Structure formats: structure tokens, C-alpha cells
A and B are shown apart, each in its own frame.
Chain A
Amino acid sequence: MNRKLSLMGYLMSAPYIIYFIIFSAFPIFFSFFLIFHRWNIVGPMKWVGLANFNMMFSDPLFWTSIYNTIIFLLIHIPLQVVVALVLAEVLNQKIKARAFFRAAFFMPVVVSGVVVTILWKQLYSTDTGLLNNLLMAIGFGKVEWLTSTAMAMPSIALMATWKNVGLYMILFLAGLQSVPAYMYEAADIDGATTLQKFRYITIPAINPVIIMVLILSTIGGFSLFIEPYVMTGGGPLNSTLSTVLYIYRQGFSFYKMGYAATLGFMLAAIIFVVVLIQRKLIEQDD
């Protein structure tokens, strides 16, 4: 009887376990293995020791891609956290059509990234784009959204924020709703203004959600790929070449699987360190 039950358990979890082995565990081990090899998928593998690492440290384009990604994160994350928090706060009030707005802001999250990117590519188009037409209509000049090295990455960050902000808004909304009303009432009686209540009650109360959102959007931000891949192809002048896009090229354009795996591990290590630092900085002792 007991054995039957446990067999049943294994059977029921089998789909996920199989999925995990094929798409997570195996690739991780395999890519770790690849780090020390040179391999072009079709040919034989060749042991190269630490040569891939040497190559990485002297590869200026890899470090450019890291730099680009950090620029992206520096714009994207603060923007995303602030906008998501403000939206959540507004949609947590008793306003009209609040369910509609909640759904509307969440929409882009569930739309395919490729579709969103194609849409925004059109919006951003320098000569025929809706955004520039709008700017011209109210008397401003054209902006080279995707065609200047200075604007391309910020433009992508803006779009990525638009796409993901709904998800983080929902997380914040859940956090805000778990703050009991009596805490605000006590603060009212203690004499707090709206801003003081936000600063001294809301922010500390949702601190765990803020950490979660920061970490999730940091990890998500480091894996920036579809947007530059579809919109700019990493240009102009590599200004939107993200790390994952660069890794993808090394692997699937140049067939340097060993080198791509090495860069992947390096990226994972960087993400790990950044997240660790973030937690140290903002986590409140309890």
C-alpha cells in the first residue's frame, strides 16, 4: 500500500522531474563541461583547459556587453520599481474602474516579447514612428530613438519597463493589501502626513516585496535578449549589445559553444554577486 502510494507520487511528479532534467540539470552540467572545451556542435570536442577564460578576459566586446547591460539595468530597474510602486499605490485606492486599469497594466506582461518588440520598433521609428509624429505635432524635433548610440539603450529600457511593470505592480499591490488598515489609522492618530505614512509605514511593511521585485527584475534585466535581438540587432555600434545577445552570437552564429558556456557562467556569477550586494544593502533585520 505504502509502496504503491510513493510510486504514485513519483509518477505524478515525473513530468516536472523529466522536464527539469532535460531543460535545467543537463544543460547546467553539460555547459560546465563545455567551459573547458572547444566545440562547434558538429565537430569533435577538444579539451582546452582554461583557454576560454583567457579569451574572455581579453575580449573587449564581452566587457562592452556587460557595460551595456549595466547601463540598461541602471535605467530599467529604478524606473520599473518606482513606476510599479506608484501604479500599485494608485490602483490600491478606491478609484473608479480600478479593475480595468489593473488588467490593462498587466496586459503587456502576457503578450509575447517578440510581438511587443515589433510593435515598439514601429513606435520608435525615426521617420514614420508614432512617437516622433506625436513629438512633431506638439512642436518638438525628432528623436533618434533606436538609431543613436546615446538613445538606443534607454529606449530599450523604457520599452522593457512598459512590458514588465504590470507584473511588479501586481506584486506590489499584493504587498500593499497585506498592510493592515489599523497601522495607517494608528499613524493618522500619531499625526503622520500621507507622505510620512508612505515613508514610515508602507515602505518598511512591504520591504520583503521590494527586495523580491529588485532581485527578480535584476535577474530578468541581466537576461535582456529579445528586445535588442529583434529591434536593433545589438547596434548601433554595439551600443545595445547585451550580454545574453553576445553569448547567443558566440554560440549560435559563430558556433563557439565552449566559449559561450564560459561567458554564461561568468554572467551567472555576476548576477549572483549583484543580488547578494542588493540584499545586504536593503534587507532590514527583523
Chain B
Amino acid sequence: MADVVLKDVTKIFDKEIYAVKDFNIEISDGEFVVLVGPSGCGKSTVLRMIAGLEEVTQGDIYIGDKIVNNIAPKERDIAMVFQNYALYPHMNVFDNISFGLKLRKVDSKEIEKRVNDAAEILGINHLMQRKPKALSGGERQRVALGRSIVRQPKVFLFDEPLSNLDAKLRVELRTEISKLHNRLKTTMIYVTHDQVEAMTLGEKIIIMRDGVIQQKGTPVDVYDNPVNKFVAGFIGSPSMNFITGQVEDTQGLLFNRGSLSFPINSGAEDKLKEFVGKDIIFGIRPEDISISGKEKGIPMVVEILEMMGNEIYLHLAIDQNTLIARVPPDTKVEEGQKVKIIFNFPKAHYFDPDSQIRI
């Protein structure tokens, strides 16, 4: 078990591709951290640098309190689950899982025990004699997980370990990984592009974009207080609604976007004053929009109604402006119906259209 620290780490491929830029994170011993971001933002590269599979262009990586920049992967005592499983095709499942232990000269009884324990957790006991070729994608992924678990390393690195599973299995294994972390209390760094996975798993999540950290924090924190428009839009499903409009000052501030105009009353008025006469981006999450039963509210039309079972997604429109609202399943609305909506202003966000930063 160990802390993992990245100090000003930069990775440049082929002298010009900045895959990771000035990356600074401190992960304390036993923490479960999720790195999340869209495809190609450099998540795998960060993980591979920690593992030692990719050289660091600039900066330092510490595992424990040692700089590991020039230490070979096998000396770092980490285990990694690869995005593409990376199982050994000519070895059966048992040999795949136990290979690392055999190389480290672990006693064969101990190997047997650890492999069986891992297989039990992952539900792959019956597959021990099969070759990877004869496994489904999900089974392979579980074998890859098994291979890392038995090692009992200082740090676990997971590169989208659940990406190829069906929804049910994904939820199951997500829970399994959570439990595993609770039991082992080993530092785990988990990469995913799936923000739901990030929200449910992480104690701390780190949101990346184009090789740069956008925000670090607890899931609740990044959800409620996104630092910029990217984070606000990336976290949460369906995404936050964004509307660009003008701030006007007519006895109190007014957000003006033609037919979608409303007074701003969120406690942010002080900061928004300097935007009077300028553009601003208004952001509101789907669950912070509700249908008003009374005459009050902004008029919109329900264009599409998506029944999700436990909730309804309403696609609302007025002129060119569209919004998605998430309302309780018993809401009485129909497609084509004219409704009045109300924003939960304390939960609304405002972004500077130039810097994209939250005001």
C-alpha cells in the first residue's frame, strides 16, 4: 500500500502530441480515485506512466515516497487491468491469473489458495482450464481482474475494466470492486469514460479533458459545484442544459433570450452585475426544471416524452430553445402539450462564454 503522487507530469508523444499536461495529483494510501474524461483525453496515458509502461516526458511520479520515473514496472509492485484485457492467449485461465505469482516464486499452495479466492469473488471457478479464446468478453475481463487481485500489490490500476460488460454485470462487478476496496484498503486508481461509473465508485474523482485536469473532488462536490462548463456538461445524465443569452438590468437582473427570458434570482446577482449587456451561459440540470401547475412560469411545448420507468425525460422547446427536464413518472403531460416550467434557481449555474468558467 502506498501514496501515489504525480508532480507536474507531462507526456509528449512524437515531440508534438501533448497527451498529458502539467498533471498534479496526490492520492493518499488506500484511497479510491477515479480518472474520468472523454475518449482520447489521456486517461490511459496517465495510468501507463504510473505503471511504468510509458516514460514520463517531464515531472515526477512517486509511489510511496520514492521517485519511480526510472524504475521498471516489475519493481513498482503495481497491478494493472488493461483496457483490452491483455491476457496471455496460450495460457489457460488458471495460468493467466497465477503467472505473476509464479514469477515471484510464491509457494504453490498459496498460489492455489489466492487464485481460488479470486475466482470465487469473480465467479469464474468453472473456467479455470479454458484458454482466453474460449471466453466471452465479460469473462475475459473478469480473468484480467483476477490476475490483478491475486498479486496483492501496493497499487491497483484499472483501465476501463468494465467497459465491455453488459449493464447488469457492470453494476454487479462495480459493487464487487467497491467491496474489494473496502476489504483490501489498497490504493486504487480507476479509469473510465463513463461518468455514472465515476460517480458511483470514486471517493475522489478527477475529471480530465485534452490531457489537462479540469476538476478534482468528491462526486457530490463536482456535481454541485462544477468549475466550468465542460465539467458541468460532462457529469450528470442527461447532461446539464445550457442556454446562451444576455444579461439585462431592468429593476433587477434579467436573462434574455427572446421568448425564453426570466429574472435572475439565485444569489449570484452580485457577480453577474458585471455581465450586464453581455452574453452569458445559463446552465440548469434536468432535475432542476419542474412543471408548474399554476399560471406562473415560462411557457414551453413538450416535443418528445421519454418514459424511463422511474422518471420521465421531457424534451421541451420554445422557438429555437430546447431543454431537457427530468420529472417524476406520475407527471401528467403529453407530447405536444403546452406547459409552464419553473427553474430551481439556487441550483442554476452561470458560465462566462469566453473562458467557460463558472461565475
Minimum distance in angstroms from B345 CB to a CB of chain A:
51
Bound-complex Cα distance A85 to B180 (A): 44
Contact A188 B88 (CB under 8 A): no
B329 to chain A, nearest CB (A): 45
CB distance B104 to A191 under 8 Å? yes
The tally of residues in A whose CB lies under 8 Å from a CB in B reads 19
Please tell me if the beta carbons of B103 and A189 are within 8 angstroms of each other in the complex.
no
Are B99 and A200 touching (Cβ within 8 A)? Answer: yes
Q: Bound state CA distance, A30 and B207, in angstroms?
A: 78
A196–B73 Cα distance when bound, in Å, is 15
Judged by a CB distance under 8 angstroms, whether A70 is at the interface is no
Tell me whether B103 and A190 are in contact (CB under 8 A): yes
Interface: B206 (CB within 8 A):
no
Please, which residue of chain A has its CB at the minimum distance from the CB of B90?
Answer: A204
The verdict on A286 contacting B131 (CB below 8 Å), with A182-B84, A188-B72, A189-B80 known, is yes
- Apart from A186-B88, A188-B74, A189-B100, what are 6 other A-B pairs with CB-CB below 8 Å? A188-B53, A188-B72, A189-B80, A191-B100, A191-B104, A204-B91
Contact A190 B100 (CB under 8 A): yes
Which one of A192, A193, A204 has the greatest number of beta carbons of chain B within 10 Å? A192
- Residue numbers in B under 8 Å from A185 (CB-CB): 53, 73, 82, 86
Inter-chain CA distance A189–B51, complex, in Å, is 8
Q: Which residue of chain A lies nearest to B76 when distances are taken between CB atoms in the complex?
A: A189
Complex: chain B residue closest to A207, CB-CB: B90
Chain A to chain B contacts (Cβ below 8 Å), 16 pairs: A183-B88, A185-B53, A185-B73, A185-B82, A185-B86, A186-B86, A186-B87, A187-B99, A188-B74, A189-B51, A189-B78, A190-B99, A191-B104, A192-B74, A193-B74, A205-B90
Contacts of B74 in A (CB 8 A): 188-193
Tell me whether B79 is interfacial, beta carbon within 8 Å. Answer: yes
Q: How far is the CB of B312 from chain A (nearest CB, A)?
A: 44
Q: Determine whether B245 belongs to the interface, using a CB cutoff of 8 Å to chain A.
A: no
- Name the distance in Å between A178's Cβ and chain B's nearest Cβ: 12
Query: Within the assembled complex, what's the spacing in Å between the Cα atoms of A183 and B100?
Result: 13
A284 at the interface (CB under 8 A from B): yes
Chain A hits for B90, CB < 8 A: 204-205, 207, 284
- A201 located at the interface, meaning its Cβ lies under 8 Å from any Cβ of chain B in the complex: yes
- Distance A201 CA – B99 CA, assembled complex (angstroms): 11
A189 to B151, CA, bound (A): 10
**B52 at interface, CB cutoff 8 A:** yes
Measured between alpha carbons, how far is A188 from B76 in the docked complex, in Å? 10
* Chain B stretch 100-142: residues in CB contact (< 8 A) with chain A: 100, 103-104, 131, 133
Interface residues in A158-214 (C-beta closer than 8 Å to B): 182-183, 185-193, 196, 200-201, 204-205, 207
CA distance A245 to B88 in the complex (A): 47
Q: Which residues of A contact B53 (CB under 8 A)?
A: 185, 188-189
Give the docked Cα–Cα distance between A185 and B145 (Å). Answer: 16
By a CB distance below 8 angstroms, the chain B residues around A196 are 103
Q: Per-residue 0/1 for B33-53: is the Cβ within 8 Å of any A Cβ (1 yes, 0 no)?
A: 000000000000000000111
Chain B residue numbers with a CB within 8 Å of A200 are: 88, 99
With contact pairs A191-B74, A205-B90, A286-B131 given, residues A186 and B103 touching in the complex (Cβ less than 8 Å): no
Cα A238 to Cα B192 with chains together (Å): 72
From B131, which residue of chain A is reached at the shortest CB distance? A286
B73 touches A189 (CB 8 A): yes
Of the candidates B52, B78, B103, B104, the one having the most CB atoms from chain A within 10 angstroms of its own CB is: B103
**A188-B73 in contact (CB<8A):** yes
Q: How far is the CB of B314 from chain A (nearest CB, A)?
A: 45
Q: Which residue of A lies closest to B148 (CB)?
A: A189
Q: Choose among A182, A205, A207 the residue that contacts B86 (Cβ–Cβ < 8 A).
A: A182
Docked complex: B66-80 residues within 8 A CB-CB of A: 72-74, 78-80
